[in-house]
Structure 1
């Protein structure tokens, strides 16, 4: 019988997410030896597969085996019961031709238990959000447009043509960030502390209106609800730039242990708490 403590990570993309988690494990989480697979498609395509199943249920391990020969090889000795925990990491990807905010809500409601169907984590707008960072003060208010041709207000927007000419978010994140963040392989433990601190403070600000490390866990459903309320459902739809991976760290360690691991950066935040708070 398989070890019931095994963990399965499911990534949207082939390279970036896997590499991020590998470095995050090495520098912050500790070696976990999780099994890692790639869905290799957007969250909305996963939604279509799930909706094709009876009563909105799915054996995600079987789905992965059927998608690629590589997944079939990795998972050949495993089934759903082999894994105690399943985590999915996907992008919001609101520019996708299949994008639909109601689908995101359904997916977050369905994938809300890592010991059941799995726990879904979403990066806004994409996985590159983890590196889109210069400093705490500018990151707090950092937002980007997210719908592009899917914008429901595009026909009444005077800046539509210019908006559609704006560079892809991957290019924006690459140029509008610290140069040393360009290569995730070079991220040290201190870099991870800084990035995790920034994203957790921002998630807390988004949901609880306070730019500090959270005192309670923050659900993915709460994050999407506030993204929609504060940024997405406006005349020019945006999202607050926010990576899924620091939220996974928070869930993994819990608030007290996370703050303890982030202690150097946490102290720095309190040292500059007045100007940061004033930006709110």
Structure 2
């Protein structure tokens, strides 16, 4: 007989892997409050802490340079938890859905269209290896609404010359009408009582 303690695994969990604290503490916190039917525990939102190109490097370190070409079955929860959560290693079969949300990061020195395409091709199913969503140009684009509703939002183009990211953040802050409705992150009571925002 041994005294090993094994953490009981919860099934039917959805894992959301995000780039930073802003995404977890502001955006997804707000989404989960507005849409409780999503049934995602905020503790199942993992902050990766860096960009998509570093994640790509971690996958290469674990599976080799040809992981995408060889169609290797990547276990993202394992790759990330091994690096970020050493006390408890998780595996893909611990989750029913895996969702990745990262910025496009065109200005990053490690930017590679090939890497982005490989990641999009491999991470295309949330119930398998995961589903990748890219923010363009960055996560703040969810705030870039000039009116409510904003019919032009889906076609809005941002010039590549609007770099670094702080310039885009300033543009969003000056053009967004959302600040008039909410003050992120935790004005949820007022938000949930505002028609056409959460319903």
Note if 1:106 corresponds to 2:118.
Answer: yes
Distance 1:61 1:112 in 2: 16
User: In the alignment, is the contact (CA less than 8 A) between 1:11 and 1:38 conserved in 2?
Assistant: yes
User: In the alignment, is the contact (CA less than 8 A) between 1:87 and 1:121 conserved in 2?
Assistant: yes
Give the alignment's TM-score, normalised by structure 1.
Answer: 0.55
Q: Relative contact order (C-alpha < 8 Å, sep 6+): which is higher?
A: 2
SS of 2:102's equivalent in the other structure is: strand
Q: Deviations over 1:19-70 (max 9, x none)?
A: 31121111124343261211111111212222341451432122222333xx
| 1:172–1:191 CA distance, 2 compared to 1 (3 A) | farther
| 1:66–1:32 CA distance, 2 compared to 1 (3 A) | closer
| 1:37–1:143 CA distance, 2 compared to 1 (3 A) | same
Aligned to 2:30: 23
| 1:145–1:5 CA distance, 2 compared to 1 (3 A) | same
Distance 2:184 2:165 in 1: 24
Q: Deviations over 1:58-92 (max 9, x none)?
A: 32122222333xx345xx26332211111111011
User: In the alignment, is the contact (CA less than 8 A) between 1:64 and 1:72 conserved in 2?
Assistant: no
Measured after TM superposition, the shift of residue 114 of structure 1 is 1.1
Distance 2:10 2:165 in 1: 49
User: In the alignment, is the contact (CA less than 8 A) between 1:174 and 1:182 conserved in 2?
Assistant: no
User: In the alignment, is the contact (CA less than 8 A) between 1:39 and 1:67 conserved in 2?
Assistant: no
Aligned to 1:176: 175
Note if 1:144 corresponds to 2:158.
Answer: yes
Structure 2 portions without partners, runs of 5+: 1-7
Aligned to 1:59: 75
Measured after TM superposition, the shift of residue 111 of structure 1 is 0.6
SS of 2:21's equivalent in the other structure is: coil
Aligned to 1:32: 40
Measured after TM superposition, the shift of residue 99 of structure 1 is 1.1
For the aligned residue pairs, the C-alpha RMSD in angstroms reads: 2.8
Measured after TM superposition, the shift of residue 134 of structure 1 is 1.5
User: In the alignment, is the contact (CA less than 8 A) between 1:18 and 1:36 conserved in 2?
Assistant: no
Distance 1:92 1:99 in 2: 9
User: In the alignment, is the contact (CA less than 8 A) between 1:108 and 1:120 conserved in 2?
Assistant: yes
Aligned to 1:9: 16
Measured after TM superposition, the shift of residue 133 of structure 1 is 0.8
Distance 2:164 2:97 in 1: 42
Give the alignment's TM-score, normalised by structure 2.
Answer: 0.74
